[in-house]
């Protein structure tokens, strides 16, 4: 079974080298919608694949980091990068260009790492990330599956290579969240007292 939770953020970028003239030379923004799809073949004590509420913790925080930020490819023109950092308190440097495809891959990689490092407390079984859909506009989206996330021909994305500005970090509930993820520390879900025997 699949479940899906939708997240939203506003973000600005330039996508270098793309065919669309407006996109490759001009800073522009999108109201992104990100669908996170989880898969399991057994249900937890609440008879759910994974409680939607749990997805509003670390997973939501990571996606929300991109809200009202400018994203740039860390291989872009150093002067452009310098100016992004100078004029936007919220910026994120990416190891890949900020296309919808790469957003979908990036969120897959980070959310997959979060889930794999999460200690689940409510009888969740084989819950795993199925795919991530990044909607750039109402009419265009990219969907990343595990084989896309792992595909080095699409560029390597390591969580440690995503650099968040100080302002982004300061606004997280836990400013150390990404460092913990990179260090392989665990995220522990809240205990749930059982009220009826399942
Ligand atoms: N495969 C991709 N194609 C394009 C991407 C992308 O990330 N992946 N990105 C862009 C631009 O960022 C652009 O702003 C979005 O393109 P487009 O869908 O053409 O935008 P419109 O606002 O014109 O959308 P309509 O709904 O068709 O009006 C370009 N391509």
Q: How confident is the model at residue 173 (pLDDT cuts 50, 70, 90)?
A: confident
Could you report the per-residue pLDDT of 106-162, keeping only the tens digit for each? 999 999 999 999 999 999 999 999 999 999 999 999 999 999 999 999 999 999 999
Report H helices in 14-165.
21-25, 58-64, 78-87, 100-116, 146-149
C-alpha span between 146 and 163 (Å, rounded): 23
Instruction: Using the atom order of ligand 1, give the atom closest to the CA of residue 30.
Output: 14
- Report whether 178 contacts 161 (CB < 8 A): no
13 sits in which H/E element = strand 2-13
User: Which one of 39, 45, 68, 171 is the catalytic residue?
Assistant: 68
Evaluate: CB of 24 within 6 angstroms of ligand 1.
no
Residue 20 belongs to what domain range? 2-188
Determine the length of the chain: 198
Evaluate: CB of 71 within 6 angstroms of ligand 1.
no
Residue 196 domain-assigned? no
What was the ipTM of the complex prediction? 0.94
Look at the chain and report how many structural domains it folds into.
Answer: 1
Residue 17 domain-assigned? yes
User: Which one of 23, 35, 45, 171 is the catalytic residue?
Assistant: 23
Residue 98 domain-assigned? yes
- Nearest-CA residue for ligand 1 atom 21 is 137
User: Does residue 197 carry a pLDDT above 70?
Assistant: no
Residue 41 domain-assigned? yes
Q: What percent of the chain has pLDDT over 70?
A: 99
Residue 194 domain-assigned? no
- Report whether 89 contacts 12 (CB < 8 A): no
Specify the CATH number for the domain of residue 107. 3.30.479.10
Cα-to-centroid distance, 135 and ligand 1 (Å): 10
Residue 195 domain-assigned? no
Cβ atoms within 10 A of the Cβ of 123, count? 15
Residue 197 domain-assigned? no
Reported in sequence order, the residue ranges of 64-193 that DSSP labels E, i.e. its strands, are 69-73, 91-94, 118-119, 128-135, 141-145, 163-164, 187-188
pLDDT (0 to 100) of residue 194: 80
Evaluate: CB of 86 within 6 angstroms of ligand 1.
no
Mean pLDDT to the nearest integer, 68-72: 98
User: Does residue 198 carry a pLDDT above 70?
Assistant: no
Could you report the per-residue pLDDT of 78-97, keeping only the tens digit for each? 999 999 999 999 999 999 99
Site to probe by mutation for ligand 1, drawn from 22, 98, 136 as the one with most ligand atoms within 8 Å of Cβ, is 136
């Amino acid at each position: 079974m699949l479940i899906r939770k939708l997240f939203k953020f506003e973000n600005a970028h330039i996508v270098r080298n793309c065919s669309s003239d407006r996109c490759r030379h001009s800073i522009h923004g999108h109201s992104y919608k990100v669908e996170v799809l989880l898969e399991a073949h057994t249900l937890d004590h609440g008879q759910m694949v994974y409680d939607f509420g749990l997805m509003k913790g670390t997973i939501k925080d990571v996606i929300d980091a991109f809200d009202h930020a400018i994203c740039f490819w860390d291989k872009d023109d150093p002067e452009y990068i310098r100016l992004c950092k100078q004029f936007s308190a919220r910026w994120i440097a990416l190891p890949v260009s900020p296309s919808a495809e790469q957003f979908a891959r990036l969120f897959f990689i980070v959310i997959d790492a979060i889930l794999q490092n999460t200690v689940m407390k409510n009888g969740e079984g084989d819950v795993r990330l199925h795919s991530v859909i990044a909607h750039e506009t109402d009419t265009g989206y990219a969907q990343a599956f595990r084989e896309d996330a792992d595909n080095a021909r699409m560029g390597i994305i390591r969580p440690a290579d995503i650099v968040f500005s100080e302002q982004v970090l300061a606004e997280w509930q836990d400013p150390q969240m990404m460092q913990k993820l990179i260090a392989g520390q665990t995220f522990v879900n809240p205990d749930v007292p059982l009220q009826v025997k399942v």
